[in-house]
Chains A and B, each alone.
Chain A
Amino acid sequence: MPSNILEFEKPLIELEEKIKELQSFMEEKDLDLSNEIERLKKRALNLQKEIYANLEPEQIIKIARHPKRPTSLYYIQKIFDDFIELHGDRKFGDDKALIGGIAMFEGLPVTVIGHQKGRSTKENIKRNFGMAHPEGYRKALRLMKQADKFNRPIISFINTTGAYPGIGAEERGQAEAIAVNLMEMSDLKVPIIVVVIGEGGSGGALGIGLGDEILAFEYSYYSVSSPEACAAILWKDADRAAEAARALKITATDLLEYGIIERIIKEPIGGAHKNPEKAASILKKELLNSINEFKKLSVNELLKKRHLKFRQIGNQGKKVKTRRYKNLEVLK
């Protein structure tokens, strides 16, 4: 089965093929089957709704990883009026897996950074499958500090399986690059809006992911480790990835419940790849809302809010709230 066909959509695809067959049969034999076709189309829509209302985390991961899923550059082209890509970390090289630049957003200059995956094998090789090296994280930090200097809001698109695990990446300090980004992002004086558009793979995602607001698309995920790696490490069985995907609580709904993200961005039915234009227009509206909200905050308020958000993470949410208070009592 080609990888761009989602297995759980199989009954739907079969039904759609049946509709197509009927249509060509109708034209061939000059018969009127339009009632039957309408009925089937309705059934197909209901079936699609039903499938998408009951997705398991491992199925959501498949949508998040779909080869046709809109990439950072797609959204950049659709959402912003102008965009100039800026290159290089000024230290080692230019990482094509993590891109960035300045864009115009409804008349407002913004700095945009994001992981970039390829759509074809050739492009994916150029983009290293969206897995960045230290120079990618350092370029991102350079551009974010530039944004800080010129008082531009930062918009960061997350879409990576993870930071690249390779010899060069380790030699050049993958860990240090991510750590420094986290430290510096916590204190930039401009609003940082983070959007998980597809895969939020561990430290490689977080390396450009510390922000005032974190939004996640409905069928994206954000995880401490890939479910495959989790199953392999904890249970010594990579085939139990689906089970790990459920256990790790990585869907947008879970992330919202645990206070990790602020909002879920609704996707067109069947996922963003079924209607990328619509996904982009929904995202644009969300971003506009956020930017307008942040305009109301002073730098002090912004930083105070950001510090508090990350200071409390893991100590908040309905399941842990009581513990937070308990902690405080204990500490007295």
Chain B
Amino acid sequence: MLKDWFGKSKYVTVKISGKLNKKNHKNEDGRLWTKCPGCKEIIFNKKLLENLMVCPKCNYHIRLSARDRLQITVDENSFNEFGEDLKTNDVIEFPGYKNKLDEAIMKTGLKEAVLTGEATIDNYPVVIAIMDFNFMGGSMGTVAGEKITLAIEKAIEEKKPLIIFSAAGGARMQEGTLSLMQMAKTSAAIKKLNKKGILYISVLTDPTSGGVTASFASLGDIIMSEPGALIAFAGPRVIKQTISTKLPEGFQRAEFLLEHGMIDLVSPRHEMRGNLARLLKMHNIEVTRNAQ
């Protein structure tokens, strides 16, 4: 009965976001505290980690590494990585690229700017790709594009929903026009996914711009973002240079995009995992049995 549906007062209950556990609370420079990039307050790392790296004073969402994002998003011990051995060559022999790559690998422990695998979220099976801005600005070169495409194809193959967390400066300059073409490659793969009726949720995190915004990241059935995330095609600095006028307040932030109809919802970090689970449920995704 229709009446019964309206009579229900409770929404689906889901677990809140996972915890962010770290062996120690020290920053790279050995400090136990962090200055919030938003309000400039000094916050103890322990407090920040408990709060999923969201400033308890001003709600600023500090950027997360791909591994940290994974930890707070998927069920414990559910992640099965694929494509982890893929590593890019210096395809066009770009000056200084090899060193930059080595630095990025050292810094992040990743081989590329995107982490891909299968996992469950509140027992719903998903294929997940998470970009890491610490890896050369999350830029998409041939291998990042390849891994995103592999994730899309895995979702098609396994008939599992696809979730991509984007964080990127755009296409990677050090791999020239081949990087640009990854926009075409990934977007074409999304077309195939759509034809198969597979759900794709795109989550834009701070910052997502350039060729990543202008390809798969903008093609989700549902597009979510974290509060305050910068989402752009051309970055604010480029626009400022071109038009030499002041940019509007909050320009290119998640709330601005919501206002202009470019994204579906802005979800605070604490609610992200819950929102993903709710959406998965609404798409009749079957819960994995024997889940822990």
A222 interface contact, C-beta 8 A: yes
Structural contact, A206 and B183, CB atoms closer than 8 A: yes
B179 interface contact, C-beta 8 A: yes
Cβ distance A250 to chain B, nearest Cβ, rounded Å: 6
Within 8 A of B (CB), among A165-215: 165-167, 169-176, 178-180, 182-184, 186-187, 200, 202-203, 206-207, 209-210
Cβ distance A247 to chain B, nearest Cβ, rounded Å: 5
B104 interface contact, C-beta 8 A: no
Within 8 A of A (CB), among B117-174: 141-142, 145-146, 149-150, 171-174
B18 interface contact, C-beta 8 A: no
CA distance A224 to B141 in the complex (A): 10
Binds A, one of B39-47, B56-64, B247-255, B275-283: B247-255
Which of A207, A255, A311, A319 makes the CB contact (< 8 A) with B188? A311
Cβ distance A135 to chain B, nearest Cβ, rounded Å: 14
CA distance A254 to B179 in the complex (A): 14
Number of interface residues of A (CB under 8 A): 56
Structural contact, A327 and B176, CB atoms closer than 8 A: no
**Across the two chains, which residue of chain A brings its CB closest to B145?**
A314
The B contact surface, by secondary structure, is helix
New contact pairs (14) apart from A187-B191, A225-B173, A254-B176, CB-CB < 8 Å: A166-B239, A166-B243, A169-B234, A173-B218, A176-B218, A176-B262, A182-B183, A184-B191, A224-B175, A229-B238, A248-B173, A249-B177, A258-B177, A314-B179
A163 and B191 in contact, given A223-B176, A249-B92, A314-B175 (Cβ under 8 angstroms): no
Cβ distance A265 to chain B, nearest Cβ, rounded Å: 17
Which of A170, A176, A210, A311 makes the CB contact (< 8 A) with B234? A170
Our count of residue pairs bridging A and B at CB distance below 8 angstroms stands at 185
Structural contact, B173 and A179, CB atoms closer than 8 A: no
Contacts of B74 in A (CB 8 A): none
Number of interface residues of B (CB under 8 A): 61
Structural contact, A307 and B176, CB atoms closer than 8 A: no
Binds A, one of B6-14, B24-32, B209-217, B266-274: B209-217
- A: residues with CB less than 8 A from B are 163-167, 169-176, 178-180, 182-184, 186-187, 200, 202-203, 206-207, 209-210, 222-225, 229-230, 233-234, 247-250, 254-255, 258, 260, 307, 310-311, 313-315, 319-320, 323, 327, 330-331
Which of A174, A183, A223 makes the CB contact (< 8 A) with B187? A183
5 nearest CB pairs, A to B:
A165-B234, A314-B142, A186-B188, A182-B187, A175-B213
